[in-house]
Amino acid sequence: MDHDVDGVYGEYNVIDVHNGMAATHLRGVAWQKSRHSNSQGSCVEFARLPGGDVAVRNSRFPDGPALVYTRAEIEAMLLGIKDGEFDHLISG
């Protein structure tokens, strides 16, 4: 599945995208969550932005802020997750 988005987000263009902006202002992006997310909708959602940055939002608050990370930041996080560096956050 292609999650890339080209062009602009409604009235907002790439220059206007910033960390902490309302996630609803990122029009035209494809939000994706893990297939392991629970059925109550408590999920972290990701959206790839034009230029390669990635937005992150809390699915419980879809109108809330989007945190915007560089591709390198997301890659470092995913590698750490795969290596088990954050397993202590969910252990009993």
Domain of residue 53: give its range. 14-89
Share of the chain above pLDDT 70, in %: 84
Query: Encoding tokens for residue 9?
Result: 């987000």
Residue 6 forms part of a structural domain? no
Q: Are 70 and 53 in contact (CB under 8 A)?
A: yes
According to the model, what pLDDT value does residue 40 have?
A: 74
Q: What confidence tens digit (pLDDT) does each residue in 16-35 have?
A: 889 999 999 998 999 999 88
Residue 15 has pLDDT above 60, yes or no: no
- pTM equals 0.79
In a domain, residue 51? The reply is yes
- Note whether residue 4 is domain-resident: no
Return the pLDDT at 1.
Answer: 40
Identify whether 8 is part of a domain. Answer: no
